[in-house]
A = this chain, B = another copy of it.
Amino acid sequence: MNKPCAQHAHPHRLVQQSLSDLTQKLRDGDRKITGPRQAILDVLRRHANPLTNKEIHAALGKEDCDLATIYRNMHTLESMGLVKRYDFGDGAARFELVEGETDHHHHHLVCRVCQTVVEVEGCFPAELESALATRHAFTEVSHRLEFFGVCPRCRTDAPTTA
């Protein structure tokens, strides 16, 4: 709901990695440097918030490519550790570029109304993981954490503003 409000997100923060850094990683993984791949990575590089496949597709201008190609590539990029998949519970996967080798583990605070995403530093659950592993004899324990709320803009905006 409140779709147009989605523009509130600040989509133009840059990511440290250059496009050539990224294509190099493709090479290292024995993947071909194709137009769609470069375009997808470039789109992700330009956006600070996690994007859905459809959003990526829409953001591709000249370098338009098939949606199926994006879906396939997101799997590829994810398995290569170039992007990270997030699930905000609205039925669409979202992807964010992984920040270099030392990806800093973080979570998100998502506005229930306009989907604006704020990165949340710190991760208490990480401390719980080892405890859980011991207590329940589970191995390879990881977790998924997402926060939701209403962002200041969506609280003050008149509904008609949209």
Q: Which residues on A are within 8 Å of B, measured CB to CB?
A: 87, 89, 109, 111-112, 118, 120, 122, 124-125, 127-129, 132-133, 136-152, 155
Q: Taking A89-B144, A137-B152 as given, write out 8 further A-B residue pairs in contact, using a Cβ cutoff of 8 Å, ordered by the A residue number.
A: A124-B127, A125-B125, A129-B147, A139-B149, A142-B149, A143-B148, A144-B147, A145-B145
- 10 A–B contacts from the bound complex (CB under 8 Å): A109-B132, A118-B138, A125-B147, A133-B149, A136-B152, A138-B149, A138-B151, A141-B148, A142-B149, A143-B148
When distances are taken between beta carbons in the complex, the residues of chain B under 8 Å from A147 are: 125, 128-129, 132, 141-144
Count identical subunits in the complex: 2
Residues of chain B within 8 A (CB-CB) of A122 are 128
The answer to whether residues A132 and B149 also contact, given A111-B138, A140-B112 and a CB cut-off of 8 A, is yes
* Chain B: minimal CB distance from A162 (Å): 18
The residues of B that contact A148 with a CB separation of less than 8 Å are: 141-144
